[in-house]
Amino acid sequence: MAEESDNEPVLTDEEIEALVEHAEDGGFDDGEFRIHDFSAGETLTISKWSELEGLQRNHAEVLGKALTAAFDLDISVEAQPSSYAVARDLLIGFPQRMCLISTPIGPFEGESHLLIPGETLSFLVNQYFGGGSVTPPKLTAKVTPSEQRLGERVAKEYLRTMAEIWVDRLPLRMGDLYVDVTPDRFSLIPSDEGFAVFTVELSAGDAHKSAIDLLIPFEALESQSAALLPPVKAVPEDPEAATWEPQLRSTITDVSVEVRGSIDAIETTIQSLLAMKVGMTIPIEEPDAMSLLLNGRAVARGRYGAHEGLKAMQFTHFKERES
């Protein structure tokens, strides 16, 4: 018997399954190191700028039409979700062949950067000059002068259309362009400087697809974030608002209420009450005090007496309103 008990499992199958299920959820600490997303706060902040999505979507649509007209190609542009990244991570992700256009965009402080990958420029050059009928040349280590010139042209169309779309929300002032085919200028930026990354996906049917990134200093964009939030609806000021008290006073006098006076109260029994008949007289002593009732609640006290030959009540005091 002792051997059999020693061989019995410590946990039942149900307990093991429950333990495995608990270990697979996010709350189980297995002692392993995990990566912490230090940019989560900034990413959340960008997501709260609800007007940004509409601006990006409208800009992408207009940019697609502008590039189609400029290069005589059927180009479509689609906005992608905005994100956040620091300079060192962006620099690591730069493609080897690229065109980096740096420019000040007012009212944002500092320089913003438009990153156009070399594959985008190679496709445009081949289509623009060769009509897509020639074999693409062997790629060089850096973008060619022709690709660089087209990169500058793409940047001008990008920034021009962006200013057109943003004008009602936040007027933008585009500065001079500094065009580079290396990341040298960007590498001088402090590695921990944060950027809001606006990405658009450019495609030409099944022949080509690539992404263009606009990098705007996050702090500079955040300082203008009020323009990226829904407009606050102003409540129109009623010119008659200051005269509400006279209106209330003139209206309240028409409110119907029940007012009655109470001279005295007597105590009796049910037997006496049932014995009451028509014509029966109940003597009432002269009251020491009287009350004026408004909707069943006493609002004033007074003395009983006579005035001009009529029984009357003289107010002695009004009851204060209970808090």
Token code pair at residue 310? 């009529």
Confidence category of residue 31, pLDDT binned at 50, 70, 90? low
User: Quick one: pLDDT at residue 246?
Assistant: 73
Cβ-contact 181, 187 below 8 angstroms: no
Give CA–CA dist 81/197, Å, rounded. Answer: 9
Res. 85: pLDDT tops 90: yes
Give per-residue pLDDT as tens, 267-306. 788 888 788 888 888 777 777 778 887 777 888 888 888 7
Of 302, 296, 303, which is closest to residue 318 (Cα–Cα)? Answer: 302
pLDDT 10s digits, 88-137? 999 999 999 999 999 999 999 999 999 999 999 999 988 877 655 555 55
The 3-state DSSP composition of the chain as helix, strand, coil percent (nearest 5) reads 35, 25, 40
Under the banding of pLDDT at 50, 70 and 90, the label for residue 55 is very high
Q: In DSSP terms, which residues pair with 178 in a beta bridge?
A: 102
pLDDT of residue 212: 97
- Range with the lowest mean pLDDT among 124-128, 157-161, 186-190? 124-128
| pLDDT tens digits, one per residue of 223-264 | 999 999 887 776 666 665 556 677 777 777 777 777 776 666
pLDDT of residue 36: 44
Higher-pLDDT residue of 296, 26: 296
pLDDT in tens, 42-51: 888 898 898 9
Rounded CA-CA distance 194/223 in Å is: 14
- Residue 45's identity, in one-letter code, is T
The Cβ of residue 200 has, within 10 Å, a number of other Cβ atoms equal to: 20
The reported pLDDT for the residue numbered 160 is 97
pLDDT value of position 293:
79
Per-residue pLDDT, 287:
75
Is the pLDDT at 24 greater than 70? The verdict is no
Place of tokens 């400087």: 193
Q: What is the pLDDT of residue 306?
A: 79
296 class by beta-carbon count within 10 Å (0-12 exposed, 13-18 middle, 19+ buried): exposed
pLDDT at 32 exceeding the cut of 60: no
Residues 104, 110 contacting (CB under 8 angstroms): yes
| 52-66, 68-82, 95-109, 228-242: segment of lowest average pLDDT | 228-242
Distance CA 79, CA 212 (A): 10
Structure tokens at 227: 């323009």
| Residue 246, amino acid | P
**Whole-number pLDDT of residue 272:** 81
Token pair in block for residue 255? 């409110």
pLDDT of 153: 95
Percent of all residues in the chain with a pLDDT value above 70, rounded to a whole number: 79
Residue 323 has pLDDT above 50, yes or no: no
d(CA 78, CA 74): 13
Q: Please report the domains of the chain, with CATH numbers, ordered by start residue.
A: 40-228 (3.40.1550.10), 259-264+287-323 (no CATH)
